[in-house]
Amino acid sequence: MSDTTTTWIPALGRGDWALNGAQLQAGSDLQSALLISIFTDREAEPDDVIPDGTTNPRGWWCDADQPYKIGSRLWLLSRAKQSKETLDRANKYIAEALKWFLDDGVVARFDITTEWTRSSQLGAKVVAYRNDGTSMALNFASVWKGIN
């Protein structure tokens, strides 16, 4: 199925729609949904520590009383140090953000790999395996930049 192409712009830390001339470019609805799920700020859980010291849990107000919240909690890592625990948390947050794809039968499974791509920069590779046997891989050299 075709959807508006959403692309991730690492230097700006945000996504944007791609243009084909003056029109929006058509693309993969799966890729767009993956990008939104990983890079939208999901609401913090009640026991999460908010990194900026406020009580702002972020998230989207329409998520209230919904079975799934949109986005990921990767934003909670903004003050985390470069450690194995941070890698594990990033992997957990990405898996949590993509769980709805599995529950709704959109994909059969995911392989998620997180790694330090350079000092204080975390990267991730997400491979989505569709039910028809095809797959889509997304590589992100930077899903998180930490403090030194």
Q: What is the pLDDT of residue 60?
A: 85
Percentage with pLDDT > 70 across the chain = 84
Per-residue pLDDT band at 72 (split at 50, 70, 90) = very high
Ordered by where they begin, the domains of the chain are: 2-145 (3.10.450)
Q: What is the pLDDT of residue 20?
A: 75
Per-residue pLDDT band at 112 (split at 50, 70, 90) = very high
Average pLDDT over residues 76-88: 93
Higher-pLDDT residue of 17 and 31 is: 31
As a whole number of angstroms, the distance between CA 52 and CA 36 comes to 23
Per-residue pLDDT band at 99 (split at 50, 70, 90) = very high
Of the segments 12-16, 21-25, 26-30, 68-72, which one has the largest average pLDDT value?
Answer: 68-72
CB of 131 within 8 A of CB of 107?
A: yes
Average pLDDT over residues 119-135: 93
Task: Please say if the pLDDT value at position 23 is more than 90.
Answer: no
Burial class (CB in 10 A: 0-12, 13-18, 19+), 97: buried
123 bridge partner residues: 115
Average pLDDT over residues 95-117: 96
